[in-house]
């Protein structure tokens, strides 16, 4: 590994897995940005069913990440599961151009999320295995930055292309499918990492379970902290509604989303490098605190400048946590459970985000944005306190 040729200072696997994520998220978010309009205008689906699709799809992916993380550890393979997951998701995008009813979209979206559940944990484990311990933060930071670049450019491409195709959503789905194919093809340059395992690691193949009983106390507390914090961090699309309350027009929503993503991309790699230098725990604690400060800013400063600043800080939070959470998880589990640990982390993030969206959305609707933001800040503070307690554990595993 030490003599491997680098690309822009990154390990080969890390560089190309980042490119895979950029192309896949460009494809996926191009389609998802027009999906609500396609469902409601073209297919006539009510808004509540649009929410049902995403809620069910994300919950399904979160559960499957745990299983396929365990399965990846069991068979000792990463690439084949990751590429199969990406290919499964990409294949659904062509069929979206052929659907005639809401339930067909529901089924395809579910299959898409099965692909996500299949690929994420083995892919994250492969990133961990492809680098030395001192490069984990930078590598995951780069990967999440590339993911976000794709997620930012995809909707922009949809906005530019829709007028060209006379608002033909099905044409956008076909273009998204083509970009997704490029993501899958890029896996040609990714290789599994040969691992030297001890006899004990080879012999121990624990059965599948949703229990954390076989993991260290530090990892259990870490998952609890991430879950509690996630219950307070409401989905960014919901937070974007705050921009309308301070006098910005309808264009403010995509503009604020762009500011958030740009902040994320700018800070992701520096945050990862900082984590490699001073440790993931310190950077994550700073990231959690940044989110609480952003919420406090949005609560107290109901101005345009304050809102813009709030979304910049939210981007900083994501840069300091999204990839670094994965890096820390890889340190807190044994090598034989690397993908399984990533599966539990991904599930904790996904399920808590789903709950945060539902609970935060209900509070926002019934009591207003300030009460919802206050709820979020309190839950995030609880998660931060549990995470601070984690620092009392000196041993990694």
Q: Would you say the C-alpha torsion 245, 248, 252, 256 has a positive or negative sign?
A: negative
Residue listed under structure tokens 């609480």:
292
Going by pLDDT thresholds of 50, 70 and 90, the confidence category of residue 167 is confident
CATH annotation of 1-191: 1.20.1250.20
pLDDT, tens digit, 9 for 90 and up, residues 298-353:
888 778 888 889 889 999 999 999 899 999 999 999 888 989 999 999 899 988 88
First vs last Cα of the chain: how many Å apart? 24
1-191 and 214-397 share one CATH topology?
A: yes
Mean pLDDT over all residues of the chain?
87
Give the per-residue pLDDT at 1. Answer: 56
- Superfamily for 214-397? MFS general substrate transporter like domains (1.20.1250.20)
pLDDT exceeds cutoff 60 at 198: no
Give the per-residue pLDDT at 396. Answer: 43
Give the per-residue pLDDT at 73. Answer: 93
- Domain boundary assignment for the chain: 1-191, 214-397
Give the per-residue pLDDT at 391. Answer: 62
pLDDT exceeds cutoff 80 at 369: yes
pLDDT, tens digit, 9 for 90 and up, residues 223-235:
999 999 999 998 7
pTM of this prediction? 0.84
pLDDT exceeds cutoff 80 at 50: no
Residue listed under structure tokens 């205008």:
41
Beta bridge partners of 10: 7
Going by pLDDT thresholds of 50, 70 and 90, the confidence category of residue 35 is confident
């Amino acid at each position: 590994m030490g003599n491997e040729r680098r690309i822009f200072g990154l390990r080969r696997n890390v560089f190309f897995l980042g490119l895979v994520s950029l192309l896949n998220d460009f494809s996926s978010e191009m389609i998802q940005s027009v999906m609500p309009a396609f469902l409601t205008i073209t297919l006539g689906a009510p808004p509540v069913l649009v929410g049902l699709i995403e809620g069910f799809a994300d919950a399904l992916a979160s559960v499957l990440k745990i299983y396929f993380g365990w399965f990846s550890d069991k068979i000792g393979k990463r690439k084949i599961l990751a590429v199969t997951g990406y290919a499964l998701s990409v294949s659904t995008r062509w069929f979206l151009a052929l659907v005639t009813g809401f339930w067909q979209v529901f089924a395809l979206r579910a299959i898409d999320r099965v692909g996500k559940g299949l690929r994420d944990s083995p892919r994250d484990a492969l990133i961990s295995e492809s680098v030395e311990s001192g490069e984990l933060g930078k590598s995951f930071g780069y990967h999440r930055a590339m993911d976000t670049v794709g997620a930012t450019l995809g909707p922009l491409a949809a906005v530019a292309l829709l007028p060209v195709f006379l608002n033909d959503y099905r044409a956008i789905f076909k273009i998204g499918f083509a970009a997704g194919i490029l993501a899958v093809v890029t896996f040609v340059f990714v290789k599994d990492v040969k691992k030297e395992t001890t006899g004990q690691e080879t012999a121990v193949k624990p059965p599948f379970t949703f229990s954390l009983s076989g993991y260290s106390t530090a990892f259990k507390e870490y998952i609890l902290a991430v879950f509690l914090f996630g219950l307070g961090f409401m989905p960014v699309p919901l937070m974007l509604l705050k921009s309308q309350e301070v006098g910005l027009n309808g264009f403010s929503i995509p503009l604020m989303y762009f500011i958030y993503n740009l902040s994320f991309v700018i800070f992701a790699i520096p945050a990862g490098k900082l984590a490699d230098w001073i440790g993931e725990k310190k950077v994550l604690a700073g990231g959690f605190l940044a989110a609480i400060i952003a919420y406090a800013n949005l609560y107290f400063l109901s101005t345009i400048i304050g809102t813009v600043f709030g979304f910049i800080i939210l981007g900083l939070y994501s840069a300091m946590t999204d990839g670094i959470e994965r890096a820390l998880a890889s340190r807190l589990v044994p090598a034989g459970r690397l993908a399984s640990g990533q599966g539990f982390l991904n599930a904790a993030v996904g399920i808590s985000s789903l709950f945060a969206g539902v609970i935060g959305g209900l509070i926002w609707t019934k009591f207003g944005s300030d009460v919802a933001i206050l709820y979020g800040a309190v839950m995030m503070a609880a998660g931060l306190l549990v995470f601070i307690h984690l620092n009392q554990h000196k041993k990694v595993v």
